[in-house]
Amino acid sequence: MERRTVEDVMTTEVVTVTEDTPFIEIVETLADHCIGAVPVLSGDGRVTGIVTEADLLHKQYKSDPPDTEPRLDRLRHRRARAKVHAKADAVDARGLMTSPAVTIAPRTPVAEAARLLVSRGFKRAPVVDDGGRLKGIVARRDLLSVFQRSDDAIRGEIIREVLVCRLWQDPSEIKVRVEEGVVHLHGKMELKSLIPVVVRMTAATEGVVDVVAELDYDHDDTHPTAYPRA
């Protein structure tokens, strides 16, 4: 089954800054390009960090500090507050950036990249080669592009790759209907144990939103058969 990777959906024309880029220039860069973050590159093109809008907002924290410091959990939050103050005092990308940046390899499957961004709470991540050099950037909206496949394309892949190539099922026995990414399976499988398998493989097909299975079977192979002794 074909699986799209990050390099299939990433943006290759990436706006970047260097470690010496001043604070104001970074702000203007984000505003001019309507983006929320920029990778920071070293002199040889390696990604050393990333500056986001959140990093820049720490400057506002410095200009409008809270009236009182929190009295609870001071020790636990001291390090976090020190980092905030350090970024509030920063004047260039070197001091503002989050480093090292969480990066993704170009050949990473789209589903794996989506799990990474969601688990880390990130909206985007730089894509780098084995040497750490920037190849592109991938955002959540890029990863959602897998759900823009047509229903006909999804149906064709399920019949061809799941039923015929992987499960050796007669496609005439299983009716596959796809409506807005939701796959409906109707028909009869030879073995009962194959029903959860075909559902799982169907759900793993790119672009599938959900699977509704109404499948019967010819033989129940989920219970051990008692054979007569010789």
Per-residue pLDDT of 107-125, as tens digits, reads 999 988 988 998 888 999 9
Tokens of 87: 């970024």
The pLDDT tens digits for 125-160 are: 999 999 999 999 999 999 988 888 899 999 999 999
How many Å apart are CA 92 and CA 212, to the nearest integer? 53
User: Is residue 2 scored above 80 in pLDDT?
Assistant: no
End-to-end C-alpha distance for the chain, whole angstroms:
45
Kindly list the structural domains of the chain, giving each domain's residue range(s) and its CATH number in brackets, ordered by start. 6-146 (3.10.580.10), 149-219 (3.30.1340.30)
Q: What is the pLDDT of residue 53?
A: 92
The pLDDT tens digits for 83-106 are: 555 667 788 999 999 899 999 999
For all residues of the chain together, what is the average pLDDT? 86
pTM for this model (two decimals): 0.68
